[in-house]
Amino acid sequence: MKKILTLFTIGLLAVINASLSAQHIKPVLSNEGKSGSAIKSAEFTVVRSGETNVMSADLKWLPILSNKCTGRVHQIPEQEKIIAIKKEKTLLKQNQLNNQKSLQEENSSLSITPVMGTNFLGNTNNGMSPMDNSIAVSANWIVSVANTTIEFDDLSGNNTYYNDIPTFFNDPAISNVCDPVVIYDSGADRFIFFAQECAGNSSNSYLLIAFSKSNNPNSGWWTYKLTGNPLNNNKWFDYPKLAVSNNELYITGNLFSNNPGGVFDQAILYQIQKNNGYSGASISWQYWSNIPGTPFTLLPVSWGQSGNYGPGCYLVASIPGGGSSVKLYDLTDDMTATNEQLNYYSVPTSAYSPAGDASQQGTSCLLDNGDCRTLSGFYLNGKIHFVFHSDVGSGWNGINYNRLDVNTKTNQRSTFGSVGNSDYSYPTVVSYATNPTDASVMIGFGRSSSTMLPEIRAVNCDNGMNWSNSTFIKGSSTYVSYTSSTKERWGDYTGSTRMHNSTNPSVWINGMFGNSNNRWDTWIAEIHDNEVGIKENTTKNTGKIYPNPVVENFSVEFTLESVTQLTIEVTDASGKMIKSLYHGKAQQGANIFTFNKANLQAGTYFLTIRDESKLYKNEKIIISQ
C-alpha cells in the first residue's frame, strides 16, 4: 500500500487519518482455482467538474421538473431463456392458486424479531418506474435518492433539502439522469453520491460522482464526471454498483451497444482514488475490462461494519439466468501498487433459477421480478454476505441469502420465502451485529401476492442462519400500474444502510410502496430489535404528507419538440399569479413536472406552462381540504 505524499488541506489530512484508524486487513487469496485476470487500463486523472453548495430548496412547494427517461434498451445475457423460464413458472403459480393449494406461511421461533422505529415518507414519484431507491446514514443525517430526486433528512425525518438530481449537479451537459446510488463511507465519515446520464448512447454516457465536504450533506459537495464509454468503442454504461475500501471508491456497471439494440457487451470496473475527492482535488482512476467469467452486474462489497478494509476489494456476481455457481473476484491491491490484478474464481453452490412474476391484489397487472442477478452485499470477517431473489419452490420468489468464505472459496446459503402464498423480491442485506465475528444480518425486501398489495418488509437471519418472522414496514394504497395493464417493473433494488455510529445495531431501509395514484413512492424506516415503539413522522415538516389526498402532490406530463426555456406558474381562476414554481430549461421529449399543493386554500386553480411565445399547458387544479 503506498503512502500519500501530498496533503492538499488540513481537512483532507483529518479524513485520511480517520480512514487509516479504521482499516481492516484484506486477506491475500491463494491461487487455487484462479482462472484468469482482467485487463487493466492506463491511469487517468480528472479535475472536479463543479461544486455544489447546497441551498435550502423550496421545501413548501417541492417543484421538480424531470425529463422522462425512455431512451434505454437492454438485452441481458440469456434473455430469451430467462423470459421462457419466468413465463412457465408464472403459469405454474397461477395454476396452484386456481387449485387452491394450501399456503405455507412464515413460522419461526427465533427470539430476535425486527421492530420498526422512526419511519416517514421518502422520495416521492416523478413519473419513473422503478424508483431505484437508495439510502445512506451518518451519525446525524440521512441522504436518500430515487429517480430522479435527492433529499436530506435528520434522524427524525425532518427534511432540509429536496431537489432534482440535474439541478444538484448543475451541469448543462447533463439532462437525463437515472440509477442514483448513495453510500456512507464510515472510515472517512463522508457521503458519496452517484448518478448517471441515461441517454442510452455512448456519445453522452457519463458517470456523475459527488463527494460530501463533511459528514453533514448540507455543507456542500465536490462533483466529478467520468466517461461511461471508457473503451471508446461505442458502448454506454448502466446498472451501477458502488463500494469503498480504505483508499478507493469502486463503481461497476454493464456496457451495452448503442440503441437501437442495447446488446450487452461486458461488465466494467472503475477503480478510483477517493481521498482527493473529499477535498475537491483532482482524482486518479483506472478501469478493468475483459473481466473473466463474463459477469453481469458485478457487485463490489464494502466492509460490513464501521471502518473500511483493503488494500483492494472483493466483488461477487451470481448468474442472472440461474446456475450452480457464483463468481468471486479479488482486486488484489490499490491502483498505486502498479502490480495489482483482478482475479476470478468460480465457487460452486446450490442450484438456483428465476421464478415467475408476482401478482398484485385487485389487478391482473403482474410485477416483474427480473432475474437472479446479485443485488446487495458486504464483506466482513472473511465472508462476503450477498443476496438476490430466486425460485424457492413451485415458481415462487424468495430471498436467496449467501455467505461466501473468500479463503476456502466455499459458499453457504439459505433461502426465505412463502411457497404458495406470496413473492418476496428485491432484497437488500446489512450487517446486524456488534462485532465482526457475529454473522447476523437484517434484510429488507418487497412482498406481494394476488391477495395482497405490494408492501415493504424486513427479516433477521442470525449467526446460525436461523430466520425470524418478517416485519411489516409499509403497505400500498393501491396496486401499481404505470403504462401497462399486464406487467409493471418492481425493482431495480431496495435501499438499506447500517447505522455505523450506533451503540446497538440499527438499520435504515428505503423501500417502494404503491401510492393512491397507482404509482410508486418510497418509505424510509429504522429497523432494530429493541421494542421502543413506533415513531412515525408523516409530515416531515416539509408539506409532504402521507397518505395523500388526490391533489396533495400534483403532476403533469408534457412533450417538447426541442430544449425550451419554460416558466411554470400557479394562477387563480382570474389569471392572477399565486406562485412562480419554475423558470429554466426543459429537455426535448417527454417531461413531468410535480409540486406540492403547500398552503393553497380549497378551490380552483390553474397550472400554466409557457415559454415567451407559446402556452403549452393550462391545467385546472381542484384543491380539496
**Listed residue (225, 223, 127) closest to 173, CA to CA:** 225
pLDDT (tens digit per residue) in 195-245: 999 877 899 899 999 999 999 999 999 999 999 999 999 999 999 999 999
The neighbour count for residue 27, using CB atoms within 10 Å, is 11
- What residues are paired with 589 via a beta bridge? 560
The amino acid that residue 293 corresponds to is G
Averaged pLDDT for residues 301-320:
97
Q: Is the pLDDT of residue 565 over 90?
A: no
- pLDDT for res 111: 59
Averaged pLDDT for residues 505-523:
92
User: What is the phi/psi pair of residue 61, to 5°?
Assistant: -95, -25
pLDDT (tens digit per residue) in 153-178: 999 898 899 988 988 998 888 878 89
Cα angle 333, 336, 342; round to 5? 35
Residue with cell 433494488: 493
Reported confidence tier of residue 445, pLDDT bands at 50, 70, 90: very high
How many whole angstroms separate alpha carbon 325 and alpha carbon 598? 53
- pLDDT for res 10: 34
Q: Is the pLDDT of residue 541 over 60?
A: no
- pLDDT for res 126: 77
- pLDDT for res 76: 84
**Listed residue (524, 429, 513) closest to 467, CA to CA:** 429
CA-only gyration radius of the chain, Å: 24
Grid cell for residue 455: 408492501
- pLDDT for res 69: 59
- What residues are paired with 208 via a beta bridge? 195, 225
- pLDDT for res 72: 67
Reported confidence tier of residue 532, pLDDT bands at 50, 70, 90: very low
- pLDDT for res 502: 61
Q: Is the pLDDT of residue 534 over 70?
A: no
Beta carbons of 196 and 206 less than 8 angstroms apart: yes
What sign for the dihedral angle of Cα 79, 83, 89, 90? positive
The amino acid that residue 422 corresponds to is S
Reported confidence tier of residue 552, pLDDT bands at 50, 70, 90: low
- What residues are paired with 196 via a beta bridge? 178, 207
pLDDT (tens digit per residue) in 112-154: 788 899 999 999 887 788 999 999 999 999 999 998 899 999 9
Q: Chain-wide mean pLDDT for the chain?
A: 86
Beta carbons of 449 and 103 less than 8 angstroms apart: no
Reported confidence tier of residue 107, pLDDT bands at 50, 70, 90: low
Averaged pLDDT for residues 324-334:
97
Domains of the chain (ranges; CATH) run 79-117+128-528 (2.130.10.10), 552-623 (2.60.40.4070)
Strands (E), 281-396: 283-289, 299-301, 308-310, 313-317, 323-331, 342-352, 358-360, 363-368, 376-380, 383-391
Residue with cell 475483459: 290
- pLDDT for res 48: 95
Averaged pLDDT for residues 93-121:
71
Grid cell for residue 144: 436518500
Grid cell for residue 363: 389487478
Reported confidence tier of residue 12, pLDDT bands at 50, 70, 90: very low
Averaged pLDDT for residues 393-399:
94
How many whole angstroms separate alpha carbon 186 and alpha carbon 215? 9
Cα angle 170, 171, 173; round to 5? 150
Where is average pLDDT lowest: 7-16, 241-250, 409-418, 523-532? 7-16
How many whole angstroms separate alpha carbon 64 and alpha carbon 579? 14
The amino acid that residue 502 corresponds to is S
- pLDDT for res 533: 33
Confidence (pTM): 0.86
Question: Residue 559: exposed, middle, or buried by beta-carbon count in 10 A (0-12, 13-18, 19+)?
Answer: exposed
Reported confidence tier of residue 556, pLDDT bands at 50, 70, 90: confident
Residue with cell 466529478: 224
Q: Is the pLDDT of residue 327 over 50?
A: yes
Q: Given the DSSP bridges, would you call strands 149-154 and 235-244 parallel, antiparallel or unpaired?
A: unpaired
Across the chain, how many H-helices and E-strands are there? Answer: 3, 44
Beta carbons of 431 and 378 less than 8 angstroms apart: yes
How many whole angstroms separate alpha carbon 397 and alpha carbon 422? 8
* DSSP helix/strand/coil, 586: strand
Reported confidence tier of residue 537, pLDDT bands at 50, 70, 90: very low
Reported confidence tier of residue 611, pLDDT bands at 50, 70, 90: confident
User: What is the phi/psi pair of residue 87, to 5°?
Assistant: -65, -45
How many whole angstroms separate alpha carbon 194 and alpha carbon 44? 19
- pLDDT for res 360: 95
Reported confidence tier of residue 485, pLDDT bands at 50, 70, 90: confident
Beta carbons of 453 and 475 less than 8 angstroms apart: yes
Grid cell for residue 160: 432540509
- pLDDT for res 96: 75
The amino acid that residue 518 corresponds to is N
* DSSP helix/strand/coil, 488: strand
Q: Is the pLDDT of residue 184 over 50?
A: yes
The neighbour count for residue 85, using CB atoms within 10 Å, is 21
Beta carbons of 177 and 165 less than 8 angstroms apart: yes
Grid cell for residue 143: 441522504
- pLDDT for res 63: 76
Residue with cell 425550451: 564
- pLDDT for res 282: 98
Averaged pLDDT for residues 410-426:
94
pLDDT (tens digit per residue) in 499-512: 876 667 789 999 99
Averaged pLDDT for residues 48-62:
78
Grid cell for residue 225: 464526471
Averaged pLDDT for residues 510-522:
93
- pLDDT for res 612: 77
Residue with cell 481492516: 24
